[in-house]
Chains A and B, each alone.
Chain A
Amino acid sequence: MHLAYPAVLAALLFCVGLYGVLARRNAILVLMSVELMLNAVNLNLVAFDVWLRDTLHAGQALTLFTIAIAAAEIGIGLAIVLMVYRNRGTSDVDKLRDTAEGHGPEAETTEAPAHTTEAAA
């Protein structure tokens, strides 16, 4: 098999995940896009491991470790998202601007009604 096929597929999947991370608003959809990026890296690891015929199979071992770490990350990430949702009433990353610079008090005043309406809804 030509090595370019898995490499190009991994690059494209990574960029799709990158678009999702940058463009999505819901925090859980951002986590899904992160999963896509991690899977692109896994595909690269497996493809290059098979190509190099590594006797230690470092690529496949690292893929297994990446999968386990990704599962731990999704557990912790969802716990954080749920806590943010319980505290703020929303899981949209656009609305979590408490530490944003440059907007000052006017951002606070525009954000406050949004929180109350989200909590009421």
Chain B
Amino acid sequence: MTLAITAPLAASAPQGFLSPTGVEIAFVLVGIATLAAAIVTVTTKQLVHAALWLVVALGGLAVEYLLLTAEFIAWVQVLIYVGSVVVLLLFGLMLTKAPIGRSPDADSGNRWAALTVAAASAAALVWVVVDAFRTQWIDLDGAVQGSTEVTGSILFRHWVLPFEALSVLLLAALVGAIVLSRKNGDSEPAPDGTTQPSTADKEQR
């Protein structure tokens, strides 16, 4: 399978680093909101609020996909992540009897080590990425890159085999979730466990 990659067209138009377009401003603003929601998700003491802030972060990412002209990915993101994964996480929180309200032991003892690792990797990654792509621009003006028509034809023309393999994987995940959720020992299905992962797998098909 050959990857035909055309050269980026960005070099043709002169673009300044400090002359942002409207799309860039929108991208940065939504990106700040997304990042703030993600930070609240990993730092809040209230477990249910973490799931709800995750909705904001994932929805913000869907808007970023729209700004990058990948429409189909954006709607898939809204359907699967905001629609099913977060609901599944909320179900999980309730089935494990997560405390409503503040729980002081939401963070473990290695919090500062984790903060150090995350800050160091963030600094390294941001430095490398900015240094590498300082002079590259995305050309968003041409044809839409990720409309449903384009994505559908690409997916079923060139990526059919991985797509079908993925459906087998989803079937295996469904069966595995059901087997894991059953009560041990007898064939009677669990009242709480079985319905919940199977709806998840059905939802994402």
Contacts and interface: CB of A to CB of B under 8 A. Distances in A.
Interface residues of B, number: 106
B13 interface: no
Interface in B63-116: 64-65, 67-70, 72-73, 76-77, 80-81, 84-85, 88-89, 91-93, 95-98, 105-111, 113-115
Interface string A5-36: 11111011111111110111110110111011
A32 B37 CA distance: 13
Contacts of B163: 65
**What's the dominant secondary structure at chain B's contact region?**
helix
Given A17-B42, A39-B58, A26 B47 contact: yes
A63 B140 CA distance: 19
Contact of A79 (B61, B84, B114, B180): B180
Contacts of B4: 54-56
Contacts of A82: 92, 95-96, 181, 192-193, 196
Contacts of A75: 88, 173-174, 177, 197, 200-201
Contact of B1 (A16, A47, A56): A56
Given A19-B115, A22-B118, A50 B38 contact: no
**What band does the interface of chain A fall in when counting residues whose beta carbon is under 8 Å from B?**
35 or more
Nearest to A55: B4
Given A15-B119, A35-B54, A68-B169, 5 more contacts: A5-B27, A8-B130, A60-B70, A61-B151, A79-B197
| Nearest 7 CB-CB pairings of A with B | A20-B42, A22-B114, A19-B118, A72-B173, A15-B122, A23-B114, A11-B125
Interface of A: 1-9, 11-20, 22-26, 28-29, 31-33, 35-36, 39, 42-43, 46-47, 49-58, 60-61, 63-65, 67-76, 78-83, 85-86, 91-94
